[in-house]
Amino acid sequence: MLGNTFRASTTMAAAFFDAKTIRLLVVGDSGIRINGDQVYRWLKPVDDLSTTARIEVFNLLKGNGGSSDEVEAQTRKISFQGLDNGVSEGILEEEDAARICTLVSDKYADIVPPRHTEAILRTGIRSQYLYANRANHPLGYSSLNCDPILMDDVIDVSKPIAEVETLEFFTDGYFDLPGEVSVSAWEKAFDKCETVDFHKTESFPSIKGSTSKEFADDRSVIVVRNS
């Protein structure tokens, strides 16, 4: 039983400077880009599972009618609360939930045993905290949550300062990376994603889509230039 126990958890993208070196530390799916081309970011498998299931749910509910905002709201609820909750509330049929579990399990069977895939999909993203900093588990991932950090997927690299012209720190609310180095370029890339794949089910799949009142995710970007 999950109960109402939740743990605060966050990502990190940071740079530390000394006289000659820049040390980059990345935990999770926030990222750093150097000189407009070298990207350091780690995407966790549990998000891939949830995203694939979310798209299946969205397309199923969209096919049943209803406005895009209504479908997105129901899909977000199922993604967070889990497929079992969707069945219990009558939003999904059990055969739909079982089909989605099988589809996602088969797709990722080479990296995650089916029983673990079904467990996270049935209980939803609200149970994801159970895998934070959990060693020796296929869904384990590093997180800043006051526990010892798993470290398996932490990015820790150093670069000579003389070789770094620009640093860009960005969160996962940006679904595509721009060709230019500027805040305005990041925003233009974001606007393009909204136009090309508003619901985040095709070109830029995500665990949430946009609605008429809110974007799929919050976004932040900082551009630093070495002068």
Which pLDDT does position 3 carry in this prediction?
A: 47
Which pLDDT does position 66 carry in this prediction?
A: 83
pLDDT tens digits along 32-46: 999 999 999 999 999
Q: Which of 149, 135, 121 is nearest to 9 (CA)?
A: 149
Q: Is the pLDDT confidence value at 4 over 70?
A: no
More confident residue, 165 or 3: 165
Q: What pTM, to 2 d.p., does this model score? A: 0.92
Domain boundaries, the chain: 45-131
Which pLDDT does position 186 carry in this prediction?
A: 98
Q: Is the pLDDT confidence value at 1 over 50?
A: no
pLDDT tens digits along 51-79: 999 999 999 999 988 899 999 999 999 99
CA distances from 58 to 74, 126, 141, 196, 222 (A): 8, 18, 26, 17, 33
The two beta strands, 38-40 and 221-225, are unpaired
- Please answer whether residues 138 and 113 qualify as being in contact, where contact means their C-beta atoms are separated by less than 8 angstroms: yes
Rounded Cα gap, residues 163 and 115, in angstroms: 46
